[in-house]
């Protein structure tokens, strides 16, 4: 075999080896992890402060106290005991983002701040959180979020549906429709726990739990 033939043969062998190695490498590439399923049936409400300064945190809580009763009143007007479900709360939030923004912005301006305000509804990857004695595992949750200014401060959150945070409001219309005594609160927490447990039981058994991160 002449020199040219040897070179061609060597090139072919190297190409075959390269293709084989590429195929072998691809077979070992792990599949892209699928995003965690949404915890359906739960709508969270978040207010994120501009910063962690005392003034910005106080403003955040003021926005919460000003906006939450308005949201509560309008969601309540769309529900009856039989028709109360998360879809109604989500639909309300999605169709009233601009109104909710105006409420929050009005309060911010009245307090002398020039921060912008943004509102959104979307699925968020949220670390594990404790709400009173109820544990929310890390995962994807639908949330209505108000962000004040740069949104670099700590956030306040609660559960809008089932109405765990709304029944804590003073003069809440939920007091008439859902009640606020200890027994009613236990029922609400039990309902939320059932939703979470159902979701957890449906996750793939071989799925590794994500480490919770504090925010």
SS3 of the chain: CCHHHHHHHHHHHHHHHHHHHHHHHHHHCCCCCCCCCEEEEEEEEEEECCCCCHHHHHHHHHHHHHHHHHHHHHHHHCCCCCCCCHHHHHHHHHHCHHHHHHHHHHHHHHCCCCCCEEEEEEEEEECCEEECCEEECCEEEEEEEEEECCCCCCEEEEEEECCCCHHHCCCCCHHHHCCCCHHHHHHHHHHHHHHHHHHHHHCCCCCCCCCCCCC
Reading the chain (215 residues) residue by residue, the pLDDT tens digits are 566 666 667 767 777 676 666 655 544 433 333 444 666 778 889 999 999 999 999 999 999 999 988 988 888 777 765 456 778 888 999 999 999 999 999 999 999 999 999 999 998 887 877 666 667 777 888 899 999 999 999 988 887 777 666 444 443 444 444 444 444 454 445 555 555 555 455 554 444 434 333 33
Q: Quick one: pLDDT at residue 84?
A: 63
> What does the block give as tokens for 29?
């590439």
Q: Quick one: pLDDT at residue 182?
A: 47
CB 64 within 8 A of CB 165: no
Q: Quick one: pLDDT at residue 66?
A: 94
**Where are the domains positioned within the chain?**
38-200
- For strands 155-161 and 38-48, give the pairing: antiparallel
pTM value is 0.62
Q: Which residues pair with 43 in a beta bridge?
A: 142, 161
Q: Quick one: pLDDT at residue 73?
A: 82
């Amino acid at each position: 075999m002449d020199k040219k033939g040897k070179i061609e043969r060597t090139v072919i062998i190297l190409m075959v080896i390269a293709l084989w190695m590429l195929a072998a490498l691809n077979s070992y590439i792990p599949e892209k992890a699928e995003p965690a399923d949404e915890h359906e049936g739960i709508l969270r409400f978040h207010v994120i402060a501009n910063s962690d300064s005392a003034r910005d945190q106080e403003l955040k809580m003021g926005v919460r106290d000003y906006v939450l009763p308005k949201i509560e009143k309008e969601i309540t007007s769309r529900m009856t005991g039989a028709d109360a479900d998360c879809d109604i709360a989500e639909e309300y939030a999605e169709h009233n983002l601009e109104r909710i923004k105006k409420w929050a912005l009005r309060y911010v301006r009245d307090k002398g701040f020039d921060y912008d305000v943004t509102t959104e509804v979307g699925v968020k990857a949220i670390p594990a959180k404790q709400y009173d004695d109820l544990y929310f595992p890390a995962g994807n949750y639908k949330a209505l979020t108000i962000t004040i200014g740069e949104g670099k401060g700590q956030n306040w959150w609660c559960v809008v549906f089932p109405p765990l945070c709304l029944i804590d409001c003073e003069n809440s219309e939920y007091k008439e429709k859902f009640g606020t005594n200890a027994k009613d609160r236990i029922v609400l927490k039990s309902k939320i726990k059932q939703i979470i447990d159902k979701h957890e039981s449906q996750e793939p058994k071989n799925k590794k739990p994500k480490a919770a991160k504090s925010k």
